[in-house]
Amino acid sequence: MAKVAIYCRLSEEDKDKLNKTDDSNSIQNQKSMLLQYAMKQEWEVYNIYSDDDYAGADRRRPEFNRLLQDAEDGKFDIVLCKTQSRFTRELELVEKYIHGLFPLWGVRFVGLVDNADTDNKGNKKARQINGLVNEWYLEDMSESIKSSLTIRRQNGHHIGAFALYGYMKDPDEKGHLIIDEEAAEVVRDVFRMFAQGMGKTAIAKRLNDRGIPNPTEYKRRKGLRYKQPPSKNSTLWKYSAISDMLINEIYIGNMVQGKYGSVSFKTKENKPRPKDQWYIVEGTHEPIIERELWDSVQIMVKNRTKPFITGELGIFAGKVRCACCGYTMRSSKSRGEHHLQCATKYVAKEACEGAFISVKRLESIVIDELNRMTREFLDKDEVEQKIEFAKNLKDQVKKLKAEVEKYKKLLSNASHAISECYVDKANGEIDIEEYNIIVKNLKADKAKYVKVIEENEKLIEELNKRILAGDNRRELIEQYVDIEELDRETVEIMIDHIVVGRRIPGTKNYPVEIYWNF
């Protein structure tokens, strides 16, 4: 008996076409239809793979990718979908999988409604045409949406899922913002404190001491049904939040949008856009900050901005983390000497012990450890190095695989939570705006989980290649024997990251843990 894998997909676009009472019936209908067909053909159902709320061009669909892996592993003989477009709307993937890899893996593809069947050699051109038409549909839809959003942005309509902290969406006028007085008063305080000479970190600390939640936590407390628990210190104000607030023109009544743009209709990846491509429309809503105060603050921000300094200050940039809270340590300068310090300690009491170390001291520690390690490594017998090398890499692979499984479970939970929210919306338990807010946050979590999974799987692949290729570390390490000073290039090549703790009381020693790139 042939084993069949059933694949179903429901996109947000499909949901918009359903009535409230339909629930996620589209997915249920797909399953029912395909199960009946499989039974009629006397196929054994191996598994049902279902991606709810995913576009046909989204390559990061968790169940889609699980199906592909199981297909490669030979766990079934047939992939059954309602239509070819449910599997993918991209012609590239039609060719890659349906016409390329599936035949190599001994897997037949069947689209029930559109009669796509790889056992029928005569309809290959029809499948290719369907793939091309589906891709045109995606591109046209993307351009149509983009054009519509551009017009709304140009007209000064707010199109984001959330209003900026200090504002809320006007319930009586779509795309218009009104002031949220509770949060707006905090915004005014921030501008006043900065204008009076208080630093951004000091402002963050003042807000945290007063128990004022940061913008993300504020939204959560306003009734957002956020299913993922907040992480450590996620409720705290930070330097960056204050910095961004002080230069955001929305607070003087100007709508500013389009800071990021999509790379392609085939991907959800966004990248920053130059300021001359932003959509800035003046006077679209009531300002929170008076113009006189705004102008004064902008002059102060400009005067306090320090140019980026290369050289010694930058050699550890982004590489050093606080042992207490895990946040990246920031650079500072005192009496002509550069230091690295954890900013969390300065924004809230009891939030972090606060690691602190001079760049020269850390450089000395790293050089000593690097030289010790290189001498010890090169003194070892080559066979012993290779055995140790393989063991270390295999341990890393094992750890990464466990991490992947953890995030796949989180991804599955987030997908399930989205489905539950849709049911709640259909049953009238939550309104459409609340639903959109919840789903947007869950989608953001899913995107984060998918990114972690992709990065870890890429690392696993690279580590497996290194295991197969053998140990080439000797050649690398020989370039860094008995070095006397560090530069940025050496740090990038040799070090993944460094963890620094507080100075050990009564000594001049710092707990430093270096994570090497090999």
**What is the domain-level CATH number for residue 57?**
3.40.50.1390
Model pLDDT, residue 127: 60
The pTM of the full predicted model, rounded to 2 decimals, is 0.45
The last residue of one of the domains, among 305, 328, 358, is 305
Per-residue confidence at 451, pLDDT binned at 50, 70, 90? confident
Structural tokens at position 478: 């020989």
Same structural domain for residues 121 and 165?
no
Please give the residue that has the higher pLDDT: either 217 or 488. 217
The last residue of one of the domains, among 110, 127, 152, is 152
Same structural domain for residues 383 and 461?
yes
Please give the residue that has the higher pLDDT: either 110 or 264. 110
Contact predicate 481/375, CB 8 Å: yes
| Chain position carrying tokens 């046909």 | 56
In the chain, % helix, strand, coil (3-state, to 5) comes to 55, 15, 35
Model pLDDT, residue 178: 93
Q: Where are the beta strands (DSSP E) in 290-393?
A: 320-322, 330-334, 337-341, 356-358
Q: Indicate whether 228 pLDDT > 50.
A: no
The last residue of one of the domains, among 101, 118, 152, is 152
Mean pLDDT of 351-373: 83
Same structural domain for residues 338 and 425?
yes
Q: Indicate whether 109 pLDDT > 90.
A: yes
CA distance 142 to 348: 44
CA distance 84 to 115: 9
Mean pLDDT of 63-74: 93
Other beta carbons within 10 angstroms of residue 50's beta carbon come to: 21
Residues of the chain above pLDDT 70, percent: 74
Same structural domain for residues 351 and 468?
yes
Q: Indicate whether 59 pLDDT > 50.
A: yes
Per-residue confidence at 320, pLDDT binned at 50, 70, 90? confident
CA distance 312 to 358: 11
Per-residue confidence at 267, pLDDT binned at 50, 70, 90? low
Same structural domain for residues 16 and 141?
yes
Same structural domain for residues 51 and 139?
yes
User: Phi-psi category of 200—alpha, beta or left, where left has phi over 0 and alpha has psi -120 to 50?
Assistant: alpha
Give residue 242's Cα distance to chain centre.
Answer: 22
pLDDT in tens, 150-197: 777 788 888 877 888 999 989 898 889 999 999 999 999 999 998 888
Same structural domain for residues 355 and 299?
no
Model pLDDT, residue 476: 54
Model pLDDT, residue 148: 65
Same structural domain for residues 278 and 335?
no
Same structural domain for residues 329 and 418?
yes
Q: Indicate whether 246 pLDDT > 90.
A: yes
How many structural domains comprise the chain? 3
Same structural domain for residues 118 and 192?
no
35: three-class secondary structure by DSSP: helix
Domain residue limits at 370: 313-516
Among the listed residues 335, 252, 354, the one whose alpha carbon sits nearest the alpha carbon of residue 293: 252
Same structural domain for residues 159 and 143?
no
Phi, psi at residue 47, to the nearest 5°?
-165, 160
Same structural domain for residues 53 and 103?
yes
